[in-house]
Chains A and B, each alone.
Chain A
Amino acid sequence: MSLFDKKISELHELLHTKEMKVSELVDASFSRIQQVDEKVKAFLTLNEEGAREQAKLLDSKMGTDEMRGLLFGLPIGVKDNISTKGLRTTNGSQLLANFEPVYDATVVQKLNEAETVTIGKLNMDEFAMGSSNENSGFFQTRNPWNTDYVPGGSSGGSAASVAAGEVFFSLGSDTGGSIRQPAAFCGVVGLKPTYGRVSRFGLTAFASSLDQIGPITNTVEDNAFLLQAIAGHDKMDSTSANVDKQDYTAALTGDVKGLKIAVPKEYIGEGVDEEVKNRIMEALKVLEGMGAEWEEVSLPHSKYGVATYYLLASSEASSNLARFDGVRYGVRTENADNLLELYNHTRSEGFGDEVKRRIMLGTFALSSGFYDAYYKKAQKVRTLIKNDFDQVFEKYDVILGPTTPTTAFKVGEKTDDPLTMYANDILTIPVNLAGVPAISVPCGLSNGLPVGLQIIGKAFDESTIYRVAHAYEQATDHHQNKPEL
């Protein structure tokens, strides 16, 4: 059994009994990266010097009262749209190829308090826009299960780094499925928390009303540990919810007796691959065997989710990305004789096509004469989608279905057709529009590639999601399947 197959709790045991030093764990992480990252290409920036220094400091605390951090000594990777002081943060964009933040995001501060060791920054679709990592301004991350395939997006680097055993866990961000979809494609566990559960301070805003940071891990237990460390109210983020956080690890009871599961017929209907559907039905049987009950329900407005999302997310993005103009930070064009040219050329040279496409779509949807027909209409449909979830949650504890309609697709297969690429997020997007939490857990393979089971919960009820996911994980061994690299 490799070190990277161990759970956080097992690693902690090794550290607390001094069977292992933090620097050994950190060395193991870097040597694995050296061994496999040429194939996977998950990391954009490595923090070798900083991580080894931090490891040395933590080693000196071992065996003393100072060894208090919830995640003491554990190596972590961070998506490159999360601000890390002094450590290059590019958002996967050439426009920020040289950007070194001067402050830490709140989640990074919390990880520092929990005493993790940041190993590096992970590749992503530029400004978190994409479903395949093919929109990174630097290079394509590959799926560790088969490097001809995409790892998913936009947190593809975050999911691939965990699946490849380069780090024990990572942070991603999810605007329309960007944690859950790559987690499903790479066979790891990824949670999008309730909107407002985790601070967005220091996360580069893409679509502010949808974005949420979340943990990507090997197991559900690890995931609960990581959420425990990063969740909570933050006065630096005006959209952070002032609600009590639950004890997520206490939710891992293994008991789902009497639990009511809703299965939307839209999530197992047309467009969903037959093999994916089979894995989901098998998972339902497992949960049924443990005493849970399930029924088919309807989320009638699901099919409008993708259109709604692209109008709203692009509108918000067109506004949020206005700040990248080459004046205060980032790479500035060398071809400008006046200020207007400086803006235009910097943005045109720095942004990739997907980002430009979405900025233009958003500018169009918000422009005079089109605002009511597109932007406001989409906001109203968002209400209908949210109401669908509210109604189902009046009678059921969780909603269950596939995370994605298919398994990972081949690199280059969908790049010419943005609409086909967008359709891939059809099962994850409604969750962001409604603001509720959802997790993707591995539920087996189809043609050698992982399938993700999505469990959606009520707002601020991550505990129940973890309870179901953990019980399922305990009853199966899918999470023990590892890619060979």
Chain B
Amino acid sequence: MSRITKEEVKHVAKLARLSVTEEDADMFTKQLDDIIGYAEQLNELDTENVEPTTHVLDMKNILREDVKKEWLTNEEALKNTPDKQNGLIKVPAVLE
């Protein structure tokens, strides 16, 4: 039984903001199905009473003092921007 369908691959691609051709979708369906099938070996393990590890260091609420300081200038922040105008980032119109 297939674990991930071509339709699901297309849906996931849409969520991830990726365009896939029909050919790509076929390739990724096969590969992701193999990987997910492999990952299902984790079901052999009983993890009912196991706490999940999100992070190996036991650290909480790491904060810096909220002090105003010069970080990047407008010019620096826009240095790598592909399209800009009057110190702002330019993108295609969002509203018609």
CB pair B91–A367 under 8 Å, yes or no, is: no
Q: What residue of chain A has the Cβ atom nearest to residue B75's Cβ? A: A102
CB pair B89–A360 under 8 Å, yes or no, is: no
Which B residues are in CB contact (< 8 Å) with A310? 35, 39
| Alpha-carbon distance A196/B64, docked complex (angstroms) | 17
- Among B15, B45, B51, the residue within 8 A (CB) of A367 is B15
| Alpha-carbon distance A342/B91, docked complex (angstroms) | 8
CB pair A102–B72 under 8 Å, yes or no, is: yes
Which B residues are in CB contact (< 8 Å) with A381? 42, 45, 47, 50
Which B residues are in CB contact (< 8 Å) with A306? 38
CB pair B45–A304 under 8 Å, yes or no, is: yes
CB pair B16–A359 under 8 Å, yes or no, is: yes
- Among B13, B36, B39, B64, the residue within 8 A (CB) of A235 is B64
How far is the CB of B84 from the nearest CB of chain A, in Å?
10
Instruction: Say yes or no: A435-B4 contact (C-beta < 8 A), given A102-B79, A384-B47.
Output: no
Q: Using a CB-CB cutoff of 8 Å, which residues 9-46 of chain B contact chain A?
A: 9, 12-13, 15-20, 27-28, 31-32, 34-36, 38-39, 41-43, 45
CB pair B8–A364 under 8 Å, yes or no, is: yes
CB pair B54–A379 under 8 Å, yes or no, is: yes
| Alpha-carbon distance A378/B82, docked complex (angstroms) | 39
- Among A99, A235, A367, A380, the residue within 8 A (CB) of B80 is A99
For this complex, into which size category does the number of interface residues on chain A fall? 35 or more
Which B residues are in CB contact (< 8 Å) with A367? 12, 15
| Alpha-carbon distance A102/B71, docked complex (angstroms) | 10
Question: Chain B interface secondary structure, helix, strand, loop or mixed?
Answer: loop
Interface stretch, picked from A23-31, A247-255, A324-332, A468-476, is: A324-332
For this complex, into which size category does the number of interface residues on chain B fall? 35 or more
CB pair A196–B57 under 8 Å, yes or no, is: yes
| Alpha-carbon distance A171/B47, docked complex (angstroms) | 37
Which A residues are in CB contact (< 8 Å) with B59? 238-239, 241
Residue-wise, chain A 302-324 has the 8 Å CB interface mask toward B (1 for contact) of 01101110110000001000100
With an 8 A cutoff between CB atoms, is B56 at the interface?
Answer: yes
Which A residues are in CB contact (< 8 Å) with B55? 209, 239
How far is the CB of A483 from the nearest CB of chain B, in Å?
34
CB pair A342–B92 under 8 Å, yes or no, is: yes
How far is the CB of B15 from the nearest CB of chain A, in Å?
5
CB pair A384–B39 under 8 Å, yes or no, is: no
With an 8 A cutoff between CB atoms, is A1 at the interface?
Answer: no
Q: What residue of chain B has the Cβ atom nearest to residue A386's Cβ? A: B53
CB pair B42–A304 under 8 Å, yes or no, is: yes
| Alpha-carbon distance A403/B54, docked complex (angstroms) | 25
CB pair A345–B38 under 8 Å, yes or no, is: no
| Alpha-carbon distance A182/B66, docked complex (angstroms) | 41
| Alpha-carbon distance A329/B15, docked complex (angstroms) | 21
| Alpha-carbon distance A339/B89, docked complex (angstroms) | 13
Instruction: Say yes or no: A378-B42 contact (C-beta < 8 A), given A102-B76, A364-B12.
Output: yes
How far is the CB of B91 from the nearest CB of chain A, in Å?
6
With an 8 A cutoff between CB atoms, is B52 at the interface?
Answer: yes
Q: Using a CB-CB cutoff of 8 Å, which residues 80-96 of chain B contact chain A?
A: 80-83, 89, 91-94
Which 10 A-B pairs have CB atoms at the shortest separation, nearest pair first? A435-B56, A379-B52, A329-B80, A332-B82, A380-B47, A238-B62, A102-B76, A348-B19, A380-B50, A382-B53
* Additional A-B contacts beyond A239-B57, A377-B47 (6; CB < 8 A): A98-B80, A238-B62, A304-B45, A310-B39, A339-B91, A419-B34
Q: Report A's interface with B, CB cutoff 8 A.
A: 98-100, 102-103, 195-196, 209, 235, 238-239, 241, 301, 303-304, 306-308, 310-311, 318, 322, 325-332, 336-345, 347-348, 351, 353, 356-357, 359-361, 363-364, 367, 374, 376-384, 386, 418-419, 422, 433-435, 459
